[in-house]
Chain A
């Protein structure tokens, strides 16, 4: 059978969701951001909530998320996405509100905002991209950087005596009463991407049920910041990031 006979509209099993715009993403080749954007867009399409969803984009590489997912967006000052999401959700309780934040945004400058939003149990979804580095600004050390990991500001590797220990902020957030669902996922292969999509869907459903804050960490790569090829970065992540940030649900109620 010829390929031409297979490529027909009636045989199509996977195509780009219309919730994702056709703008070419500015992300580096192989960046996890693109995959997570797509999963969020697919969940929005499947739930039929494109008109009811408001995203809060962060400061960081994902600041331009509003160019890629065709929903309403606001853009927050660095780390303040949960505060903006709180206001948005309280003013529009019928809407689905989510923040999309990196580790520099959420676990460093925005620690106060995320902790208190989660503790208040705002009915929002938090998508947390943890790639253990500041990607946009040139690969500086983040709170989540692993011990011994070389970055622009820790050229000899992160030293716990000098720089402290990696901050497992998701574990802290799981302790807070306001959160109903806290999970850690990844998107390095098809199986894990599908699991992450289910987690994002569950998080959006929780917010409609008014159960509290849902927090989805996606352990991700920054191949440019890590100075590795996309495929090598995924392998490095499995080998080094997963022992420190193990996959799975930390809380589900």
Chain B
């Protein structure tokens, strides 16, 4: 049984600090080339298929802008 996950980033609240990027064990997250209204490159799922929904990114996010979903497949 494998775990599949997905994250939803509140892109307006994200400040692009990259702490989630380095804490992701599966290199799912990267910073977008686009910026939000404050000019920050927000986090997004660059490779969604590798997300396991471990919640590490959301746990370390200082701005609590990540919501995590997980299913067993």
- Residue of A at shortest CB range from B62? A34
- Determine whether the beta carbon of B53 is less than 8 Å from that of A24: no
A6-B6, A13-B55, A31-B62 are contacts. A230–B67 as well, Cβ < 8 Å?
Answer: no
**A16: Cβ under 8 A from any B Cβ:** yes
**A38: Cβ under 8 A from any B Cβ:** yes
Contact with B along A1-30 (1 / 0, CB 8 A): 101011110011111110010001101111
The total number of A-B Cβ pairs within 8 Å is 100
In angstroms, Cα B20 to Cα A235, docked, is 14
A1-B4, A11-B69, A13-B69 are contacts. A20–B19 as well, Cβ < 8 Å?
Answer: no
In angstroms, Cα B63 to Cα A32, docked, is 10
**A227: Cβ under 8 A from any B Cβ:** no
A6-B69, A11-B69 are contacts. A230–B59 as well, Cβ < 8 Å?
Answer: no
- Determine whether the beta carbon of A8 is less than 8 Å from that of B69: yes
**Cβ contacts under 8 Å, B64 to chain A:** 16-17, 20, 34, 38
- Determine whether the beta carbon of B62 is less than 8 Å from that of A11: no
The tally of residues in A whose CB lies under 8 Å from a CB in B reads 36
- Determine whether the beta carbon of A234 is less than 8 Å from that of B68: no
- Determine whether the beta carbon of A14 is less than 8 Å from that of B60: no
The tally of residues in B whose CB lies under 8 Å from a CB in A reads 37
- Residue of A at shortest CB range from B65? A16
**Cβ contacts under 8 Å, A193 to chain B:** 59-60
- Determine whether the beta carbon of B63 is less than 8 Å from that of A34: yes
**Cβ contacts under 8 Å, B29 to chain A:** none
**Cβ contacts under 8 Å, B21 to chain A:** 231
**Cβ contacts under 8 Å, B63 to chain A:** 24-25, 27, 34
- Determine whether the beta carbon of A32 is less than 8 Å from that of B13: no
| Distance between B68 CB and nearest chain A CB, rounded to angstroms | 4
In angstroms, Cα B30 to Cα A33, docked, is 23
**Cβ contacts under 8 Å, A25 to chain B:** 62-63
- Determine whether the beta carbon of B53 is less than 8 Å from that of A29: no
- Determine whether the beta carbon of B6 is less than 8 Å from that of A35: no
**A90: Cβ under 8 A from any B Cβ:** no
A6-B5, A7-B8, A38-B64 are contacts. A1–B73 as well, Cβ < 8 Å?
Answer: yes
Give the residue of A6, A14, A229 whose beta carbon is less than 8 angstroms from that of B55: A14
- Determine whether the beta carbon of B48 is less than 8 Å from that of A35: no
- Residue of B at shortest CB range from A34? B62
B1-53 CB contacts (< 8 Å) to partner A? 4-6, 8, 12-13, 15-19, 21-23, 40, 45, 48, 53
Q: Which 4 A-B pairs have the closest CB atoms?
A: A34-B62, A30-B17, A29-B15, A190-B56
Binding site for A on B (CB under 8 A): 4-6, 8, 12-13, 15-19, 21-23, 40, 45, 48, 53-71, 73
Binding site for B on A (CB under 8 A): 1, 3, 5-8, 11-17, 20, 24-25, 27-35, 38, 187-190, 193-194, 229-231, 234
A/B interface sample: 6 pairs, CB < 8 A: A7-B8, A12-B68, A13-B70, A29-B40, A32-B62, A194-B59
